[in-house]
Chains A and B, each alone.
Chain A
Amino acid sequence: MKRIYLDNNATTALAPEVLEEMMPFLSAEYGNPSSFHTFGSSVLERIARAREQVASLIGANPDEIIFTSGGTESDNMALRGCSALRGGPVVTTAVEHPAVLETAMHLGGPARIVGVDSSGTLDMKTFRSSLEGASVASVMFANNETGTLMPVKETAAISHEAAVPFHTDAVQAVGKVFVNVEELGVDMLSLSAHKFHGPKGVGALYLRRGMALPPLVTGGHQEKGMRAGTYNAAGIIGLGKAAELAQAHLQEEGFVKNLLGRFESGVLSRCPGAMIMAKESPRLPNTSTVIFRGIESEAVLTLLDIQGIYASSGSACSTGSKDPSHVLMAMGLDHNLANSAVRFSLSRFTTAEELDHAVDALAGIVEKLRAISPYT
């Protein structure tokens, strides 16, 4: 059975070129980058190149890149660091990833959480009025569930007017759409390698020149003392290569967008009761959350899985949690609709043929489950 992977917001396939770049550092070139001898320090030179590659992808200077274990650590470092330095609560949005939302919740007082409307648009008035006395404002670049793009440039400017540092969790955006820290005017930005065909367990925090954050992990001089621990050499070098490849592929953004359009029109025309979340909002080119009205998403995912098609949902049933997706609930969906949402996320490796096959499968699944449903 051919595997059709449509869960690229969860993680992506490692690009073959990335693996190739990493391999020497998992085998022969095992020196510690922090060592004095050339066997180790030559690896540090490769890490410096990775730093340049990552910086180039987001329009930063290499000395503004701090390597971390991934997006979650980068988010923690930014929020906890600002809270420790400045005190005061975190201002953030209701649709953040838990890495931000849970971290912010009780950091320097109850978090000030700004809501969105049904299209995912942020309540700018409340955002503005929440900033006074805040330690940091954090607004994600693109939502992981719906793909909606948030007003990062605008919220960053408003935060700076209120003299509040600004962080963006750009984990879902970097490598998929054009992201430039100078243009956005952000102070901190989180990114993660495995979301754009790099390895898992490595990411970075962009930290604007002149800023310093207290370390989360202490006990070493690495990353200017802001992130101790032996360098994850292979991971960092893989991240660098993935960044270089992503930058080269950014021009092909239209390719994924066209595929997504083909998929969405197929689903809408062949699956009765289907609707696309935030269809008219600015979105990532690769993400589509489909509400299959009248049927529960875990049932859809299970039937897709049997056919080798992998997607995801934030439904209570599939995650074993009590509550459905906080993102969809924040966008005003009721329990029922939120539990009917399935997310499909594409990558540059997705093909039209795979998507046509997925649409065929979905049409059959929806027909089958609607026949069982009390709501249709």
Chain B
Amino acid sequence: MWKYSEVLMDHFMNPRNVGTLENPDGHSEVGSPQCGDAMNLDIEIDQDDRVSDIKFRTFGCAGAIASASALTELVKGLPLDEALKVKNSQIAEYLGGMPPEKYHCSVMGQQALKAAVKDFREKSAQVRQAVDGIISGFKGITVIKIHPRWILVKGESPEFERIQDVLEGKLGRRIEIRRTAE
């Protein structure tokens, strides 16, 4: 048996944030060629660019499962850019230390997070592209923010429903139009 800390064993026995999100803003599936481990990660990003929800599933040893659980706890609620800065040394520290042979387990979580954020950004970019092609045709509307599931706009238009229809038609999924007065 490896010398696992009590905290690590607790995260292995009772991993936090296990599962999947129904409509994730970012999704990733990564694997470690070094040891054959694998991890799927779903993230939900809120209007303030914070990681508002996160779920994982892992094929791996106790160290890999506990690392994934720790990562999700560490980044939940953090702004995206800060979440991406979480180092595997922080994961090891959070878990009360890890055997050196197991450090590579914690790297997989970061890879998964990076890949999920990339997916989030790609999905946002798709929305951006679709929006750019449509919204210029409507006067008096400014797009403030883009998100895989919604766009935030300023201004008034009687044609919001039509804009939404066209966007959803282009992207093939539900897109909410959120309005702000600012």
Contact = CB atoms under 8 A, between A and B. Distances in A.
Interface of A: 294-296, 298-299, 301-303, 305-306, 315-318, 320, 322, 324, 335-336, 338-339, 371-375
Contact of B57 (A296, A315, A338, A374): A374
A373 B57 contact: yes
Nearest to B39: A374
10 contacts: A296-B37, A296-B60, A299-B61, A305-B1, A306-B13, A317-B37, A317-B61, A320-B101, A336-B36, A371-B18
Contacts, number: 64
Contact of A324 (B1, B36, B101): B36
Contact of B62 (A298, A336, A338, A339): A298
Interface of B is mostly: mixed
A112 B139 CA distance: 78
Nearest to B36: A335
A302 to B, nearest CB: 4
Contacts of A339: 35-36
B101 A299 contact: no
A372 B65 contact: yes
Nearest to B62: A302
B29 interface: yes
Given A335-B36, A374-B29, A374-B40, A296 B12 contact: no
A274 B98 CA distance: 30
Nearest to B57: A374
B38 interface: yes
B59 interface: yes
Contacts of A371: 18
Given A299-B62, A371-B18, A374-B29, A316 B57 contact: no
- Give the interface centre of B40, B57, B60 by most chain A CB atoms within 10 Å: B60
B18 A302 contact: no
B36 A316 contact: yes
B136 interface: no
Interface in B40-85: 40, 57-65
B38 A374 contact: yes
B15 interface: yes
Interface of A is mostly: helix
Contact of A375 (B4, B15, B59, B63): B59
Given A302-B1, A316-B35, A373 B61 contact: no
Given A371-B18, A372-B18, A374-B29, A298 B36 contact: no
A298 B60 CA distance: 8
Interface in B14-34: 15, 18, 29, 34
A201 B36 CA distance: 35
- Give the interface centre of A296, A335, A371 by most chain B CB atoms within 10 Å: A296
B35 A317 contact: yes
Contacts of A338: 36
> 8 nearest interchain CB pairs?
A298-B61, A317-B61, A335-B36, A374-B40, A374-B57, A320-B101, A302-B62, A339-B36
B155 to A, nearest CB: 43
B99 to A, nearest CB: 8
A316 B32 CA distance: 12
A324 B33 CA distance: 12
B106 to A, nearest CB: 13
Nearest to B105: A317
A318 B13 CA distance: 17
Contacts of B15: 372
A316 B36 CA distance: 9
B36 A373 contact: no
B1 A317 contact: no
Contacts of B65: 299, 372
Contacts of B64: 296, 317
Nearest to A310: B1
B29 A296 contact: no
Contacts of A322: 34-35
Contacts of B63: 317
